[in-house]
Amino acid sequence: MTQQISINEVPAHGLAVTQAADIDVARLDLEVDAVVIGSGAGGAIAAYELAKAGKRVLVLEAGPYIPSEQFSEMMAVSMDTLYQDHGAQANASGDISVLQGACVGGSTVVNAALCFRTPDYYLELWAKKFGLSNLTPEVMAPYFDKVEANLHIAPNAPHESSPGARLLKQGIENLGLPAGNAKRNIKNCAMTGFCFAGCVSDRKQSMLITYLPWAVAHGATIYADTRVTRILAEGDQANGVEAEVIDQQNGEVKCRLTVTAPLVVVAAGPIQTPLLLQQSGLANTSGQVGKNFACHPTLSITGMFEQDVDNFYGATHSLYMDQNVMPEEGGYLLLDAIQDPVEASFQAEPGTGEPYMAYMSRYRNSVRLITLIHDKNVGEVNWKNGTKEIIYLVDDQDFEIMKAGLKTNARILFAAGAKQLYIPSSQPLTIDDESQIEAVIDGLANEPARYRYTSFHPQGTCRMGADPTSTVVSPSGETHDVKNLYVVDASLLPTSIGYNPSETVYALAHYICDQINQAHA
């Protein structure tokens, strides 16, 4: 294991990580107090809280360690190096890109840094429907306070708003709708607009520059390039993991690793966590591991303006419109989002050849507005014949919610001054006048592979709740079936929550680690 550093030595830059290139033996056997699988939102916080409590902690991350100075700020390159499946992870029908980070720091390295507290509505729903009476708004408030302070989560300053967001805000206000000012975990934003490609300037307060260095300063060790293949258990007690250290250059196994640990914390994400439990044959007497998958499918309408907008710098998300976000009020959230040319090229379908070149030549005139829906937990994630399978189709009722959101989206864009709108369909589809909104969007049919959905928010798959027959994880974060096996990622969420879930995961990870430290002092 790598040498531990003093709690007084938090480097200003860089992170101590053991990588495949550092290992020259075919086998390693390690013994620690706690092994954490995954280094993203939940895993990094778990590593910090457990190490701070005096435990010997080992973090195993399947992805590579890429320090921020190596971020390319080119979306195509970042997709290949920082994202799960090189950015190609998708549902089985191929119409929803399910984007996740796959690197040290996880999705926090490549997300837009947008943060929302979990609405009281969902905490109360979870208490009533899933027996999570421990997660009251009063109990969770200090955890939200903690992560907001630690990660500098604060509303955007006026100067951070992107040019397109300023136009959209005027459109929202012209329609008499409320414009929300986004909160982000950013410190002195450089406004380069490259959040999705990794923040070179370290202004985004991702796990890469916050909780992971803090964990290392308390003695935690991080292994990158290390894929856990099996969680070990004796009887009903977890006691370690088996893993493989993978050479990132050729994909070959360089070292086999066995870790003995009385505590196993899984934070591999809502796709990989259920797959690992399935491969390990653990924690599934309920039959719910991998079930109840939700992902906040989104569609972006791109508006074309007469003037150059240059909406490619500033906060990735500057504003939102959530008047209709609660299920009883519509079930959709609208978000502005800047986009680089690579994103712009696949967010709409203008056609090929001359129509495509004409569309991209107006890139500087374009502004997109996202419709994100609170979806039902209708999907599942399976390990089938040695392959990952994400089964998810947008529910018919959810699609009607999407259409309602798209109509509001379109009205805002026209009210902001757009002259033409592009619908992200598999065939060229535009709205050329405000009078066409109802007819065009009412004409959309819920058909697989017809639309260009994107999801940054996989959730569910290891549902948390009091009933061991219908949920996977107990209210304390420990799996019902296997003692000392905890889950601290978005797979816990009993339902989709309608907003970006990162702050929910941050707060739940802190809460669960308090339960772990109390039970294993």
Tell me the pLDDT band of 153, cut-offs 50, 70 and 90: very high
pLDDT band with cut points at 50, 70 and 90 for residue 8: low
Q: What angle do CA 194, 198, 204 make, to 5 degrees?
A: 85
Query: How many CA atoms does the CB half-sphere of 269 hold within 13 Å?
Result: 26
In a domain, 470, yes or no: yes
CA distance 144 to 120: 12
pLDDT of residue 100: 93
Residue 145 sits in the same domain as residue 170: no
Tell me if 239 is assigned to some domain: yes
Residue 324 CA to residue 499 CA, distance in Å, equals 12
Look at residue 46 and give its three-state secondary structure. helix
Q: Residues 86, 43: one domain?
A: yes
Structure tokens given for 459: 């959730």
223 and 111 in one domain? yes
Write out the two tokens for 165: 């967001």
Nearest to 197 by CA among 305, 66, 387, 328: 66
Residue 81 inside a domain? The answer is yes
Burial track 134-146 (b if 16+ CB lie within 10 A, e otherwise): ebeeeebeebbee
Report the pLDDT value the prediction gives residue 424, as an integer from 0 to 100: 87
Q: Is the pLDDT of residue 2 over 50?
A: no
Q: Verify that 421 and 476 share a domain, yes or no.
A: no
Mean pLDDT calculated for residue range 9-16 = 78
138 and 211 share one domain:
yes
Co-location of 424 and 504 in the same domain: no
Sheet with strand 27-31: strands edge to edge: 27-31, 253-260, 237-246, 226-234
317 with 178, same domain: the answer is yes
Digit-coded pLDDT (tens) for 40-49: 999 999 999 9
6 found inside a domain: no
Mean pLDDT of 252-269: 97
Residue 379 lies in a domain: no
Q: Does residue 359 sit in the same domain as residue 417?
A: yes
Domain CATH for 32: 3.50.50.60
pLDDT tens digit sequence for 319-341: 999 999 999 999 999 999 998 88
Same domain, 442 and 492: no
pTM over 0.85: yes
Q: What is the mean pLDDT of residues 2-7?
A: 42
Span 351-407, pLDDT tens digits: 889 988 998 999 999 999 999 999 999 999 999 888 999 999 999 999 999 999 999
Instruction: Categorize the per-residue pLDDT at 11 as very low, low, confident or very high, splitting at 50, 70 and 90.
Output: confident
Domain range for 238 = 16-91+102-150+201-284+459-520
How large is the average pLDDT for residues 422-448? 93
Q: Are residues 497 and 436 in the same domain?
A: no
Predicted confidence at residue 5, as pLDDT, reads 39
Into how many domains does the chain fold? 2
Structure-token pair, residue 209? 């520059």
| pLDDT higher than threshold 80 for residue 439 | yes
DSSP secondary structure of 234-277? ETTEEEEEEEEEE-TTT--EEEEEEEE-SEEEE-S-TTHHHHHH
HSE-CB at 473 with a 13 A cutoff on CA atoms is: 32
Amino acid letter, 41: A
Verify that 469 and 410 share a domain, yes or no.
no
Distance from chain centroid for Cα 399: 22
Question: Which amino acids are annotated as binding site for FAD, given as ranges?
Answer: 228
In terms of phi and psi (left: phi > 0; alpha: psi -120 to 50; beta: otherwise), the region of 179 is beta
- Residue 342: give its domain's CATH number: 3.30.410
- Assigned domain for 130 exists: yes
Is residue 270 scored above 50 in pLDDT? yes
Q: Is residue 293 part of a domain?
A: no
Same domain? For 319 and 367 the reply is yes
Is the predicted pLDDT of residue 436 greater than 70, yes or no?
yes
For 27, phi then psi, to 5°, come to -150, 140
- b (16+ CB within 10 A) / e for 475-496: bebbbbbbbbbbbbbbbbbbbb
Q: Of the residues 447, 481, 510, which one is the last residue of a structural domain?
A: 447
The whole-angstrom separation of Cα 10 and Cα 217 is 6
**What pLDDT is attached to residue 4?**
42
218 Ramachandran zone, left/alpha/beta (phi>0; psi -120 to 50): alpha
21-77, pLDDT tens digit by residue? 999 999 999 999 999 999 999 999 999 999 999 999 999 999 999 999 999 888 888
Report the Cα 193 to chain-centroid distance in Å: 18
Mean per-residue pLDDT of the chain: 94
